[in-house]
A and B are shown apart, each in its own frame.
Chain A
Amino acid sequence: MNTSPPLATAKTSVNWNWLGVLPFLIFALMFLVLPTAYLMVGAFQNEAGDFTFANIRGLFEPNVLSAYLISIQVSLASAVGGGLLGFLLAWAAIQGKLPPWIKPTLMTFSGVASNFAGVPLAFAFLATLGRVGLVTVLLKKFFGFDLYATGFTVLSFIGLTLTYLYFQIPLMVLIVSPALEGLKREWREACDCLGGTAYHYWRYVALPVLWPAILGATLLLFANAFGAIATAYALTGSSLNIVPILLYAQIRGDVLHNPNLGYALALGMIVITGLSNAGYMWLRARSDRSRT
């Protein structure tokens, strides 16, 4: 402890310095860390408080497992779709040689649309693709195409994915833009001068530089969709069995008939969102490094 003798006065002030962040640390402990830790510990206990893996095993029972699978499918579909479309959109605005007003307009709109989630978003898609929604009605009227005769419903897997895309695409635009800004025009020119085609440019120049940013952002989109509940709940009620809705029902009425299985359900969500966020941060560090 006495390894730094030269700063005798610093020693007393170090103790005081810690006090400055104490309110924040106490707040984080009380309203973020402890509540989460309580659930994580509870996931490994039975009702008597003894250690057990039974709850983790319980996650692999058919009804719980299917909820995880549907959640992962919806999140994956909306992350890949949003990632792809968002990337194309950002590329068009930044590298597409379009009029200069396009980019700031897209960025502003993306800021709004990526925050327009929750219950109102569900209403918007019901009014668009619902049974009497505008797009459904217009398709029937002008093209004689009955959307609902194909078995489509906005309350389904596809409906939820299309709805999630509304905030996933703009989120992708916001996250991936800095990486696209880093693509130098000279690289394209160099590639053209050497007789390279667009294919060569993407295959050997742009994608090798961009892939960590693209993959990382897609992982973040995945986590973003996985934890969302309000939109899905307002859109489908409890007809679509995804994890957050199952957890919501469990909190309200112990539908699993085992409180500790509920904790395990929460733990599973944290593990999945935690892993995808960790992947995002790792890839982002990689992408930031390669740009400097």
Chain B
Amino acid sequence: MKHQSRLGAWIAIAVGASYFLIPLIATFEFSLRMKRGEYSFEAYRVVFGDPQFQATFGYSIVMAVITIVVGVLLVVPTAYWVQLRLPKLRPLVEFITLLPLVIPAIVIVFGYLRIYNSSSLIPLTGSERATDFLLICSYVTLSLPYMYRSIDTGLRAIDVRTLTEAAEVLGAGRTTILLKVIFPNVMTAILSGAFLTFAVVIGEFTMASLLGRPAFGPYLQLVGANRAYEPSALAVIAFLITWASMGLIQVFGRNASARRPGAGKES
């Protein structure tokens, strides 16, 4: 009987592995088919040479970096303060940070377009800069579950109260405590939230498309609708980016014992 159960386990793993790997192999193979009759990296050459690719990819990287900075500045002080002074508020704050997993992104952006349109009190869709600001806020919202969970786990692993009191005794103010004591202590958690956010934001389609910004996600969609081989090359590139983000989380998270893989995906 023992033997049988192991065979079943191997079959499950084999089926699972094929489901993961076959689409990747197929995509890679397809991306090499651009030149008739031979395998070549022509599709990649075309993609990297496309000015639209460079522009939209650059734009999305900038958006992702700003999103991470804003998200960290918003979440770390909040999570710190909740842990230190307002533990009663934790359920409310936790609930709010989980809402973006419950409310679909398309509904959130629909709401933005209604209350921040150009004839409203706060016309955030009025100019390009303002819309960029709105897009960043939408990305910070999307990344709240990942950021908060990661940073909250990090803060729980250290003794926030003792660290704060020690810093206060030494004459440090609130800002100094946050920047010089709390941030360095939860750096691993911040980085893990940051890479997850990067992976989510870099190819995001719904928000960018409906807010009409020239981001990487809408570009991908456009290429997919009009080209044959470039989409496969782009899918391979996107997969490598996701892989790199998750890999970096593993590398930085190796020292953090409290973190679980894919922490952000659970709600």
Contacts and interface: CB of A to CB of B under 8 A. Distances in A.
A35 B112 contact: yes
Contact of B267 (A108, A169, A220): A220
Contacts of B199: 115
Contacts of B234: 120, 123
B12 A247 contact: no
12 contacts: A24-B93, A36-B108, A115-B196, A119-B224, A120-B203, A120-B239, A121-B235, A124-B26, A229-B205, A234-B224, A237-B225, A270-B103
B266 interface: yes
Provide the main secondary structure of the chain B interface.
helix
B164 interface: no
Nearest to B2: A97
Contact residues on A (Cβ < 8 Å of other chain), bracket: 35 or more
B130 to A, nearest CB: 14
B154 interface: no
Contacts of B31: 127
A230 B112 contact: no
Contact of B220 (A18, A113, A234): A234
B30 A133 contact: yes
A24 B113 contact: no
Interface stretch (A44-52, A141-149, A272-280): A272-280
Interface residues of B, number: 87
Q: Which of A123, A135, A171 has the most CB of B within 10 A?
A: A123
A165 B19 contact: yes
A126 B234 CA distance: 13
A31 B140 contact: yes
Given A21-B78, A127-B30, A134-B26, A112 B224 contact: no
Contact of B246 (A28, A30, A111, A134): A111
Contacts of B106: 227, 229, 244, 247-248, 251, 266, 269
Provide the main secondary structure of the chain A interface.
helix
A98 interface: yes
Interface of A: 17-18, 20-21, 23-25, 27-28, 30-39, 42, 85, 88-89, 91-93, 95-98, 102, 106-116, 118-128, 133-135, 165-166, 169-171, 174-175, 178, 198, 220, 223, 226-230, 233-234, 237, 244, 247-248, 251-252, 262, 266, 269-270, 273-274, 277, 280-281
B193 interface: no
B12 A96 contact: yes
A58 B113 CA distance: 22
Interface stretch (B55-63, B82-90, B155-163, B183-191): B82-90
Given A32-B96, A114-B265, A134-B29, A119 B221 contact: yes
A118 B246 contact: no
Contacts of B12: 88-89, 91-92, 96
Interface in B205-232: 205-206, 210, 217, 220-221, 224-225, 231-232
